[in-house]
Structure 1
Amino acid sequence: MRTRLAVTALALATAVTAGLAVPATAAGPDPVQQGLETLLRSTGAPGALASVRDTKDGRDRTYTAGEGGRDTHAKMPRDGQVRIGSVTKTFTAVVVLQLVGEGRIRLDEPVETYLPNLVRGKGIDGNRITVRQLLQHTSGLPDYEDDVTDDILERRYLSPRDALDVALRREAVFVPGKDWGYSSTNYLVAGLMVEKVTGRPLAEEIDRRVIQRIGLRHTYFPAPGETTIRERHPQGYRQDRPGAKPRNVTEIDPSASWAAGAMVSTTSDLDRFFSALLKAKGNVLLDPAQLNQMRTTVRVGDGYDMGLGIMRVRLSDKCVAWGHSGGIPGYGTWAGATDDGRAVGVTMTLEPRSNEAMKHLENVMKAGLCR
């Protein structure tokens, strides 16, 4: 669930494209494969996988490193399903912006308009928080994720309203619009708003408006209480404390993460998603006006700017990507694309619990995007 906006940082395992090993080039080993190997050595993750979507033919090159299971030593499945954590937020933001385009939600309208008497707490008032501030993390709402980790790991179902109640026990972090602070609570509220406006479950809206529309075949929003991953997947692990042996946490209940971090996907599906989302012409997800709003950012750190459910990352002086990172027990992911449509998704099978780990994921994305 945690994005961990570390401002910033990031041998031969199996890497395949169209079923064939990706060879080293005349200039040396493939930089994405090298990045995965460095990721494993640096983080202790049992395995990692990545995919790169080329702008020329739209095909994905897929890579793997390490093992699919620490105890079984199973082969890492190529393009296997993984929990994507906070990358879910971009999907939720797309649905909200589609509703903005339909005139059913307004970005600068107070949350109170759509969810009357719900967002209340110490220093918290839905009349003072706008929809835009939710999507951009400038609302001042306190983050609840550390309070629900045990629920997730112990497979206890937590409804969105119950999760919001947990969040609202905390005090506001700052006055809305006066600062920036990453908080998954924003996306609990955004998801509840989608349900109130549409009269349909958020999972159905994401499936109908995003997943089916662009043909994501291996992406889904888990059903309430669903603890397993549906298709072939690597096992996911968590290190409870530094130096501890990673334990298998593949089967969890991500319900507490919900609109902020519950989804499952593959790195190639994430490539397709971000490529489609950032298209200037022929965009089937967002109209130009809404895409422009999504890409309107605030500075959140050196090299990082936050839009509406998406982040602008300066990977080098000449390479800028748009995407999102995410961590949830078992997995850590970075996924994004450049303006010309090249996309990269990368996942490690160990929950990233440090900024350094997220930086290593980012470095693999950089290796695939900045060529």
Structure 2
Amino acid sequence: MAVGLACAVLALSVQVPAAAAGQVELGDVQRAMESVAKVDGVVGAIGEVYLDGRRVGRGTAGSRLLGGKGGRIPSVSRYRIASQTKLMEAAIVLQLVGEGKLSLDDKLSDVLPEMAEHDYVDRAGEITVQQLIRHTSGIPDFVAGGKFDVFDFTTAYKPIDLVKAARTVPREGEPGEYLYSTTNYVLLGMIIEKLTGHDRATEFTRRLFAPLGMKHTYLATKVSDQIKGPHGHGYHPDAKGRPRDVDRLNATSWGVEGAISTAHDVSAFYRALNQGRLVPADLQGQMPRPRPSLCGETVASASGGMPGVSSVTFSSTDGRLQFAVAATLKIDNEKAMAVGDAINKAAEAVLCPGR
């Protein structure tokens, strides 16, 4: 049932001059985005390719609003990068480790004593900072508790409320076993704020966004938070299955994944990360980076999904080449596997058209 992007269809390519590295062949980005936009459930799709920090390709297809309305989404638009925010947070935590303010072996109960004192986190005395980063703490995902309504734009939650919600979900993993859970990054955010004395948004800006020139990126923090500037609108089914605009999201419940960025800015992050400019050399192996799987295992991808959006950034292992893609949706993310498959095939066609 998945709608794929055939590489043969995207065979049109362009030669891009690469600084001190001959030629880099790229597939047609516009045609790739048109194919993604044809997948059932997609409202609009944008993508941009960067080589050594310079944009060398872009595309936009579909529409800014549901039903083909609003024109196309400018490729330079902001969008929610969702779980890609976690990689940014991991980089900040590892910076704190490099500064000697934290150790990977520190126990959660020592860094945040209240987690054990009030039994907010089961087995907090066994869980390490490294396990939080790598999703091997065994702590359940607070989202699984079903407490947080996508369409709630009035209730303000604190990070501890999300941790408490996770405590009501049965544990499915032991410390040391992999179990993807956003709660890990809620706790890491609390650690960042405790050790720095600043809120997460301030530290993201100070440590990442400002130094990397990510001028159009910010961390959403408000109860009813809308994307600033031009952007595409995503939709999420309500209880009756009708798509409702989720241009607004409650950042106090979704904020751990709340970075809002652009293709240019998110590419700058991955370029710096893969070139070893963000995390101390002896700690780079601790980053929860995906294994390279595209273009002869020279390109890796990091993805994120939130109500109304699916975003993926592909980056070469040497950090020179990035392809940032965002698709706005009108379906539940759990039903959007075909969208992810299409984006991956688009990346293959654009980044390695000869394979």
Q: TM-score, normalised by structure 2?
A: 0.84
Q: Following TM superposition, by how much is the alpha carbon of 1:344 offset from its aligned partner in structure 2, in angstroms? A: 1.3
Match of 1:169 in 2: 168
Q: Which amino acid aligns with 1:65?
A: A
| Whole-Å separation in 2 of the counterparts to 1:149 and 1:315 | 38
Q: Within 2, Cα distance between the matches of 1:247 and 1:111?
A: 39
Q: Please state whether the residue corresponding to 2:188 is helix, strand or coil.
A: helix
Q: Does the CA-based 8 Å contact 1:235-1:330 persist in structure 2?
A: yes
SS of corresponding position for 2:302: strand
The structural deviation recorded for 1:158 is 1.8
How far apart, in 1, do the equivalents of 2:210 and 2:121 lie? 40
Q: Tell me if structure 2 keeps the 8 A contact 1:237–1:246.
A: yes
Change (3 A) 1:364 1:246: farther
Question: Does 2:307 align with 1:329?
Answer: yes
How many angstroms does 1:215 deviate by?
Answer: 0.6
Which residue of 274, 277, 298 maps to 1:278? Answer: 274
Distance 1:10 1:363 in 2: 7
Q: List alignment gaps of at least 5 residues for structure 2.
A: 6-10, 16-25
SS at match of 2:86: helix
Give the superposition deviation at 1:268.
Answer: 1.8
Structure 1 residue 358 displacement after superposition:
2.2
Among 182, 207, 212, the alignment partner of 1:184 is 182
8 Å contact from structure 2 (residues 121, 167) kept in 1: no
Q: For 1:288, which of 281, 286, 311 is the aligned residue?
A: 281
- Seen in structure 2, the aligned counterparts of structure 1 residues 118 and 142 have a Cα distance that, compared at 3 Å, is same
Q: Deviations over 1:113-167 (max 9, x none)?
A: 2101315759822111111111111111101124457434221322211111111
Of 324, 327, 333, the match for 1:348: 327
* 1:126 alignment counterpart: 124
Shift of 1:106: 0.8
What does 1:260-279 correspond to in 2, within 5 Å? 261-279=257-275
The residue type equivalent to 1:61 in the other structure is G
**How far off is 1:349 after superposition?**
0.4
Paired positions, count: 331
**In the alignment, structure 1 residue 114 sits paired with structure 2 residue 111:** yes
How many angstroms apart in 2 are the aligned matches of 1:43 and 1:78? 21
* Aligned equivalent of 1:77: 74
CA contact (8 A) 1:50 1:345 kept: yes
Residue correspondence of structure 1 range 82-93 to structure 2 within 5 A: 82-93=79-90
- Alignment check: 8 A CA contact 1:83 1:331 kept: yes
Matches for 1:1-371 after TM superposition, within 5 Å: 24-25=12-13, 30-55=27-52, 58-71=54-67, 72-118=69-115, 124-147=122-145, 150-155=148-153, 156-177=155-176, 179-240=177-238, 244-259=241-256, 261-280=257-276, 283=277, 285-294=278-287, 307=288, 310-316=289-295, 318-340=296-318, 341-350=320-329, 352-354=333-335, 355-371=337-353
1:297-323 deviation line (CA, Å, top 9, x unaligned): xxxxxxxxxx2xx3224125x134344
2:19 alignment counterpart: none
* In 1: Cα distance, 2:184 partner to 2:246 partner: 26
What secondary structure does 2:47 align onto?
Answer: strand
- Residue identity opposite 1:246 in structure 2: P
Gaps of 5+ in 1: 1-7, 12-22, 295-306
CA distance in 2, matches of 1:171, 1:147: 9
Amino acid at match of 1:161: I
Question: Quick one: distance in 1 between partners of 2:138 and 2:326?
Answer: 30
The alpha-carbon distance between structure 1 residues 133 and 252, as it changes in their structure 2 partners (threshold 3 A), is same
Cα distance change, pair 148–221 in 1 and its aligned pair in 2 (3 A): farther
- Aligned AA for 2:219? F
Q: Given that residues 50 and 64 in structure 1 are in contact (C-alpha distance below 8 angstroms), is that contact kept between their aligned partners in structure 2?
A: yes
Are the structure 2 counterparts of residues 346 and 235 from structure 1 closer, same or farther at C-alpha, using a change threshold of 3 Å? same
Q: CA deviation at 1:352?
A: 2.9
Q: Which residue of 2 aligns with 1:304?
A: none
Q: CA deviation at 1:25?
A: 4.1
Secondary structure (helix, strand or coil) at the match of 1:80 reads coil
1:158-205 CA-to-partner distances (Å, cap 9, x unmatched) read 22111111111123221100x211110110011011111111111111
Encode CA deviations 1:335-367: one digit per residue, 9 max, x unaligned. 131123211111100153233332222333333
Rounded to whole Å, the distance in 2 between the matches of 1:54 and 1:26 is 13
What is the CA-CA distance between 1:34 and the residue it aligns to?
3.3
Superposed displacement of residue 226, structure 1 = 4.2
Q: 1:145 is matched by which residue type in structure 2?
A: V
